[in-house]
Structure formats: structure tokens, C-alpha cells
Amino acid sequence: MANSTTKDMTSGSPLKLILGFSVPMLLGLLFQQFYNLVDTALVGKLLGKTALAGVGSTGSLNFLIIGFCTGVCNGFAIPVAQQFGAKDESGMRRFIWNAVRLAAVLAIGITALVVALCNPILRLMDTPDSIFDYSYTYIVIIFAGIPTIFLYNMTAAIIRALGDSKSPVIFLGLASVLNIGLDYLFMAPLNFGVAGAALATVIAQGVSGIACLFYMKKRFPVLASSKEERKFDRKRCGTLLSVGLPMGLQYSVTAIGSIIIQRAVNGFDNENVNAGVTAAQRINQFFYIPYDALGATMATFAGQNTGAKQYERLKKGMWDAALIGVIYSLVACAVQYFVVRDLVLLFTDESEAEVIDYAYRFVLASGLAGPLLVFVNVVRFSIQGMGFSALAILSGVFEMLARAIAGLALTPVLGFFGICLANPLAWLFADAFLLPAFFLCKHALERHERGGAPVRRFRRATKTL
């Protein structure tokens, strides 16, 4: 089935395949985080500390909703990857067409709902009055652009499921350049304020999605479908939802913990704390790119090898990816120790010593726990690629509980140090669940292959835990 555009990950060295697939993914995420970084930096430099704090205070809410949308799209691509690994072209195309239908319905429904709820949610988060207008203006425009989020993530996820991690990078890179140009145009000459930053992001996302769509039509002959294959299929839609919704909910459950932390940050009623955490989170996102790339790679690798019933190969790939990630995390932590204070100056001035100190402490605490994050991403996405998406929700619950402990119990006692402990605790709790779960999932697949209990019985059981 594989041609010059697609890549079969069921044969060859797992380590080489994972590296080869993840590097283009890394570059794509690098572009994405680069324009997020520039977006935030321009807000701080052009609009000031208050606007920066306002935009930053929406980060956890943004992750709650956009993370759900991204997770659903990535989940919809898992059956596609499995059918590709199983060499079932017709079944793959049927899944794609039904995934497109579901994505369109979800995009419209979620957009209408969250735009209407922005104001009460921000109030519930105790967003300070001094930054509320900035927060509301920014996030309502971002949420109005949710259809563009679905367009890009759905098309890019399908392309990656077929083994092509390079093409989405190119389009995302072009969109990054466009986003930066629009940021400056909308916030400086046109004076749109934080609305300009949000508009630039939505437009750039839409452009990258349209580019991926046209590319798919032109370069993937394997996607050419018959009228019969384009028909609505209730069973396949059920399969897609059973994988996609848990994967999306995992992001959202994790984000609830982040919202608790953001509420704790807001509770300081200190713009310096808000601005410092905002800058730290943007810097962290930049350093987290390799972890995200490894995770996305393992979703495709695990999906294809599960379809091909190569379970030992799947385990070896997981350990190889974890090794790559741990080596990177140690190097990244050393780099952070020396450069974070300088990086914070991208968002604020040297005179803001308190903002710089808060950001430095937050970044360094997360950096020291980098190896824990490696396993969260590698193992979680491997489990999802195997088809056990319900377990992803449970790992998200563990993260949420850890952040709730940090925000509600530790922060009142330890102050800002409690905020700094949120990420390390969340990753530790998640790993304690995910590592045993991976081997349990592998055992269930192998048992089913030997004629044991149906895998779906195990999947159904995990949903009720």
C-alpha cells in the first residue's frame, strides 16, 4: 500500500523510524510554538504587561477546549492508521469519510457552545477585573475560529496516519510566517489590540488547514474513494467516537487541572505572578516540542503496528522513543538553567525583576521533571494508538488530581512554590498509572490474538473504571 508519499512503520528499525518520523513533527511543532511565542512576545512588548497577563490567563481555558478538539481529531486518525497497517485500503477510506462528517458536526456544535460560555467561565476562574476585558476579547475570537482548528488537525492527523509527517510541517511553517506578519499588522499599524493577536492565529490556522486539504487531494491516490465508500456508516462512526471522544476528553480532563492552577495563580491578585507564569508557560511549550513530537509519532507507530499485530515491535518502539526523550530532557534542563532569564526578556523588560524571577522558578521546576513528561507522552500516545483511548481519560484524571492537590492544598501553604510543583506532581501521578496500563493493554491484545477474551470486552471494562 505504501508509496513515495506514505510510510509503512511496520517494518525496519523502530528507533530509526521513530527518529525519522518525529524530526519533521518536531519542526512542525517548532513552527507552531514559534509563532505562539512571537504572538505572546508582541502582546507583551506592544500592548504591555496587563494585556500579556490577560492573554496568558486564558491559557488553561484555551487548552481545555482546543485540546479537546485536537485530541478528537488525533483520535479519529487512529482507526485510519490501524487500517493502513492492516493493508485495508477500502476500510481506511470509509473511516476517513465518516471522520470528516463527525468533525464537521463537532466543530459547529462546540463553537456555538463555548463562544456563549466564555464570559461565565472566565468569571468562574476568578479572572481579575483589571485583565478581564483582554482575556474575554482574546479567547472569544480564538473559540470562534474552532472550525479552522478542526480543519487543520483533522487533515494533518490523516496525513500523519498514512506515515507522512513532513507535509503538514511545510504548511504550518508558511502559516507561522503569515501569523507573525499579521500579528504585527493587526496590533501595531491597525491597533486592534489583543483582538489582532487572536485574529492572526485563527487566519493562520485556517490557511494551514486549507493547504493540507488541497495537498491530500493531489498527492494521495490511495484516498480516491467510490460512492459506496463515502456513505455514512453508523458502526464506523461508533468506532471513531469510541476512540476520538476519550482522546479529546483526556486533554480536557488534564486541562481542568490546569484551570485549577490558573485559579490559584489568579488568587495571588498580582499581575507579576500572572505575567511570570504566562511567560514561563510559553517558554515551557517551546522546550516541550520534542515530547509532543515523540507522542504524535508513537500514536502512528502504535496504530500501524497494532493493525499489523506486531506487539513486541510495539513495545520496543515505546522503549526506544522513551530513551530518545530522556536524553533530550537532561540536555534541555541544563540549557534552561542558563538561558531562561534571558528568554523571559522576550516578554517583558529588564526592570520587571519579579516577573523574571517567577518565570524562572516555574520553568526550572518543570524542567527538572522532564523525564516524567517523556513517559507521559510516549506511553499515553502508544496506548491510544493501540486503541485503548478510555485509559487516556484515566491518566488525565490522575494529572487533574495532582494539579488540584498543588493548587488547592499546597499553594495555600507553600505559596508560589506550590504552583511550581503542579507539573511535576501531575506527570508523576500519570506515569504511575500509564506504565502498568501499557503492559496490560499489550497483554490484552496478545491474548485476543491467541483466541482469548475479545479485546472489546477489555476496552469496555476500562471505560467503566
Residue 390, pLDDT > 90, answer no
Q: List pLDDT tens digits, range 227-237.
A: 887 788 888 88
Number of other residues whose CB lies within 10 A of the CB of residue 413: 8
The pLDDT value recorded for residue 91 is 82
d(CA 95, CA 114): 28
CA dist., res. 95 & res. 78, Å (int): 10
Rounded Cα gap, residues 404 and 360, in angstroms: 22
The more confident residue out of 349 and 463 is 349
Distance CA 460, CA 294 (A): 28
Q: What pLDDT is stored for residue 397 in this prediction?
A: 84
> CA separation (Å) from 5 to 23, 75, 118, 207, 295?
16, 22, 41, 22, 21
What pLDDT sits at residue 465?
31
pLDDT greater than 50 at residue 462: no
The label of the residue with cell 491510544 reads 384
Q: Does 360 score more than 80 pLDDT? A: yes
C-alpha cell of 441? Answer: 493493554
Whether 4 has a pLDDT exceeding 80, the answer reads: no
Q: Which residue has the higher pLDDT, 42 or 429?
A: 429
Q: Which range in 171-175, 244-248, 378-382 is most confidently predicted, on average pLDDT?
A: 378-382
In whole angstroms, give the CA distance from residue 32 to residue 17: 23
Q: How confident is the model at residue 2 (pLDDT cuts 50, 70, 90)?
A: very low
In the block, cell 507521559 appears at 376
Give the integer Cα–Cα distance in Å for 70 and 158. 12
pLDDT higher than threshold 80 for residue 435? yes
Q: Cα(343)–Cα(335) distance, rounded to whole angstroms? A: 11
CA-based torsion, 190, 195, 196, 202: positive or negative: negative
CB 434 within 8 A of CB 396: no
- Tell me the range of 162-166, 215-219, 402-406 where mean pLDDT is highest: 402-406
Q: What is the mean pLDDT of residues 154-177?
A: 80
Backbone φ and ψ of 259, nearest 5°: -65, -40
- Contacts of 184-190 with CB under 8 Å at 24 or more apart are 184/42, 187/42, 187/43, 187/46, 187/47, 188/46
Residue type, 137: T
Does this model's pTM top 0.75? My answer is no
Beta strands in 282-398, from DSSP E residues, in sequence order = none
* Phi-psi domain of 269 (left: phi exceeds 0; alpha: psi -120 through 50; beta: other): left
Q: Which has more pLDDT, 338 or 395?
A: 338
The yes-or-no verdict on residue 30 having pLDDT over 70 is: yes
Q: For residue 348, what is the DSSP state?
A: S
Q: Does position 49 have pLDDT exceeding 50, yes or no? A: yes
